[in-house]
Amino acid sequence: MDAEQHAQHETMVEALELSGDYQVLRRLVVPAFYHAPDAAPPGTPLMRGLVVDVETTGLDTARDVIIEFGAVPFDFDGEGRVYTVHPPLSYFEDPGRPIPAEASAITGITDDDVRGKRIDDAAVLAALDQAVLVIAHNAGFDRRMLERRLPAFAAKHWACSQQEVPWVRFGSRSQKLDYLLYRIARAFHTGHRAADDCLATLHLLASAHPVSPSDSSDDVEDVRSAVQIAPLQLLLQHARRRTYRLWATGTPIEVKDVLKAHGYRWFPGSEQRQKGWYRDLTSDDALAEEQVWLQEHGYGGRVNPNWKVEKFTALERYSERMG
């Protein structure tokens, strides 16, 4: 498309959007950098981040395997500004067995695509070695799959762009990647590869968007009139926090429905951990408040209840080690 055609298209887009009856999406184009490296404030250290995504034969993190790996390295600073975007890494991997039809239908990946192919471990480990933070849009799944395939991922700090960004403050009630891209960035991408999703995730995190002052305000007009910040800034704030997992150990079976209704999740047990109900809390105050509630409603007011509290940082969060 030449400059004249582009100008004509932009004129049509402006006319459509001014009518109030249309919203126009633009194809996602990720720039070589979001802030020029030489524009960083003097003395600002730049760090390397790595956005990752995997496609797999299924959703069982203990039995299914990776059939595609994608990653995008990028440079950022402590305030959440993204600078250089480095070339993506993208690899298929032969699972050694037929890909289930359901997995192929979801991913678009066939046995022919992966036959005889393998992730370049050396290239991935070289990129990982430079990264101080790994980000995935579903870190609870991607981290567990990658730790099994490449154990070096277990030694890195992780963050989840799906769970650790309050997307409702940016005007979206959904956390799904494609919807966020449309709702917040007014963009679409036609790629079906893991690396394409990494680029989309990075674009959402790196671009400044209007944000409302609180999680309870998701009114579109409130968001449009708000200050603009990059979601990566909020992601980093959350990733730096210590979080807690409160286990309702030894609570009677009669209170299971009460626990479930209050947000507790059931862990069915594993070789490393007993089964039980738990709830994740994101602050010291939230933990203290929850313990008061659990003591009364889970333990019937018992003195010194035998709950268990685990503390997590970005080094452990989303790992198989959490259970």
Mean pLDDT score across all residues of the chain:
92
Q: Among 36-45, 235-244, 264-273, which stretch is predicted with the lowest mean pLDDT?
A: 264-273
pLDDT value at residue 242: 93
pTM, 2 dp = 0.88
pLDDT exceeds cutoff 90 at 94:
yes
pLDDT exceeds cutoff 80 at 90:
yes
pLDDT value at residue 264: 97
How many whole angstroms separate alpha carbon 67 and alpha carbon 195? 13
How many whole angstroms separate alpha carbon 323 and alpha carbon 316? 11
Q: Considering only CA atoms, which of 165, 194, 167, 189 is closest in space to residue 178? A: 189
87, two tokens: 């070339």
Give the mean model confidence (pLDDT) for residues 289-317: 95
Sequence-separated (6 or more) residues with CB below 8 Å from residue 181: 28, 187, 188, 189, 200, 203, 204
Burial zone of 171 (CB within 10 Å; 0-12 exposed, 13-18 middle, 19+ buried): buried
Q: Which residues of 186-215 are buried (b: 16+ CB within 10 A; e: fewer)?
A: ebebeeebbbbbbbbbbbbbbbebbbbeee
Give the mean model confidence (pLDDT) for residues 2-30: 88
pLDDT value at residue 218: 44
pLDDT value at residue 1: 64
Share of the chain above pLDDT 90, in %: 79
Give the mean model confidence (pLDDT) for residues 45-68: 96
Taken in order 134, 207, 223, 27, is the CA torsion positive or negative? Answer: negative
pLDDT value at residue 322: 65
How many whole angstroms separate alpha carbon 67 and alpha carbon 119? 9
pLDDT tens digits for range 119-144? 999 999 999 999 999 999 999 999 99
Share of the chain above pLDDT 70, in %: 95
Identify the residue whose tokens are 């699972």: 95
**9-17, long-range: CB within 8 Å, 24+ apart, which pairs?**
none
Give the mean model confidence (pLDDT) for residues 265-293: 91
